Structure 1
Amino acid sequence: MMQVMAKPDLHRVPRHPHAWAVVLVLSQLAVAALWWRLGWPVGLPAMLATHAVFLWGVLVPDSGLFSPVLKRLPTSEPVVWLTIDDGPSEQTPAVLDLLDAHGAKATFFVVGERAQARPELLREIARRGHGIGNHSHSHPQAWFWALGPAAMRRQVADAQAAITAITGTAPHWFRAVVGMANPFVSAPLRTHGLARVAWSARGFDAVAADPDAVVTRIERGLSPGAIVLLHEGARHGRNLEVLALLLRRLDALGYRTVLPEAGAEADQWLEKTREAEMETARFPGPPP
């Protein structure tokens, strides 16, 4: 029998964006005390261990050490959340047409500067009923994880302002560049009411040029509620082939796409999902 899920909070904005600093100070005071009392053979490994924890929190994309992060949708229904990063790009119109052809919806995590360069594409994404998220303003791929507080604040705020000015609606969701979020991302997320989104299924389509291999990797992570990471505009130019193949596989496997949103819309989505699960539990179909 299918389990009915409890109602969770999908849209989790950081509540205590500076808590990490308190933890850091306390941990280093503890390290200093150990070093003072027991010497470097204990103090040095303790210092390295505490630093390793903070580094892990930055480098692991779905780490919630510095801020809450949504990794998958809480449902046992055969649904997935398609997320498409790095646009808008020259491929965006074709991406939209592919999604329309399969009756699929996606959230586009867009770059502020690219949205300003192609505002008509951003408006078209919204017009066709897709979601739009914040993916930084200039996409500093090599050093986003190492940005200081002022630079991080600008990356989030400038993208938020650009997207809002073009579409008239402020995004609810944020995805860190390359998924890596350092401690300084929490404060601007709280300021702008943004919640971090990671993923649970990816195929490395931003770098891998073989659509079959990419979709095979994505399929390994597919399950009810999976958040699928895709990209547009990659240098290899085969993102459209990846999307087309993935949409065919999702159709064949019986998966539908959903757009979970914030606030009341999230409540409505969760309520509909619970109702569907209750119906399935009461009237299960024939065994496969």
Structure 2
Amino acid sequence: MSAIREPLPSLHRVPRASPAWIWVLLAAHLAVLLAWWWLGWRAGLPLLVAVHLAFLWGALRPRSAMYGPVLSHLPVTDRRVWLTIDDGPSDDTPALLDLLDAHRAKATFFLVGERAAARPDLVREIATRGHGIGNHSHAHPQAWFWALGPARMRREITQCQEVLRAITGRAPRWFRAVVGHANPFVSAPLRDCGLARVAWDARAFDAVRGDPVAVVARLERELAPGAIVLLHEGARHGRNVEMIGLLLERMQALGYATVLPEDL
């Protein structure tokens, strides 16, 4: 059996013990307080709103590193991309695995803990076929993940980690935030679990758009060496398998291959 190669240290960046956002937040509020004191509420209130909007933008923007490091692109110069598939396992998983095999492609499946616990055989099949497995929260609280408090955020991350470790015998090393959002409480559980956060730089909203041709056309425009491609499975429109199959065909025609960060 060949030795398992670890991801490049520069790619797998676990949050530090003391996130810089704390000091930025304190400094920003001190500046607002001084402005309010010296210039009055007409200056202080707009500054306070601006500070809070800036920190909200850091939470809602998937590639923002305000609350810890995030990987959104691979340092690759040839035509290789990282395919990432969120929200499984699902009824789509077996067909997706067959598609990937047919195209000699590899992907990382960012799995939801509750869904993995319900379908452990699919999780093991993903690992057996040589694909990566990442943590995508335990219950996938899509509407409120960005606003979770420290206790719920920790449960979402650690419970999923425990489920995936129990099924595969190996803890994931990559985390994909729900809808790509983060907040000040995401860093501590990621650090404790040894997880690095992953965003993307190629997406086409395939979880909500049901037109495979339009989805793949947009993804094709965003393909580039080292791109991290965001894909989904199990969407309500039922066409994710068709979309990914068409994408793999277009990638092959354009000379693109897949790569996992562990293989760099």
Q: What TM-score range do you get, normalising by the shorter chain? A: over 0.9
Provide closer, same or farther for how the CA distance between residues 74 and 8 of structure 1 changes in structure 2, counting only shifts above 3 A.
farther
Aligned identity (percent) is 68
Provide the aligned length of Structure 1 versus Structure 2: 257
TM-score by length of 2: 0.95
Structure 2 gap segments, 5+ residues each: 1-7
C-alpha offsets along residues 190-239 of structure 1, whole Å, 9 cap, x if unaligned?
00110010011111110000000000111121100000000000000000
Amino acid at match of 2:101: D
Q: Distance in 2 between the 1:19 and 1:235 partners?
A: 39
Provide closer, same or farther for how the CA distance between residues 99 and 134 of structure 1 changes in structure 2, counting only shifts above 3 A.
same
Tell me what 2:183 maps to: 182
Contact preservation (8 Å) 2:81, 2:229: yes
Larger Rg: 1
- Return the offset for 1:165: 0.3
TM-score by length of 1: 0.87
SS at match of 2:151: helix
Tell me what 2:4 maps to: none
For the aligned residue pairs, the C-alpha RMSD in angstroms reads 1.2
Q: Distance in 2 between the 1:87 and 1:8 partners?
A: 27
Show the 5 A alignment for 1:111-122: 111-122=112-123
Structure 1 gap segments, 5+ residues each: 1-6, 270-288
Tell me what 1:275 maps to: none
Contact preservation (8 Å) 1:17, 1:66: no
- Return the offset for 1:18: 4.0
Contact preservation (8 Å) 1:8, 1:74: no
Amino acid at match of 1:138: A
- Return the offset for 1:244: 0.6
Contact preservation (8 Å) 2:19, 2:68: no
Q: Distance in 2 between the 1:214 and 1:82 partners?
A: 15
Tell me what 2:5 maps to: none
Tell me what 2:46 maps to: 45
Contact preservation (8 Å) 1:78, 1:254: yes
C-alpha offsets along residues 77-132 of structure 1, whole Å, 9 cap, x if unaligned?
11000000000001100000000000000000000000000000000000000000
Q: Distance in 2 between the 1:233 and 1:145 partners?
A: 22
Tell me what 1:193 maps to: 194
Q: Distance in 2 between the 1:141 and 1:17 partners?
A: 27
- Return the offset for 1:17: 4.7
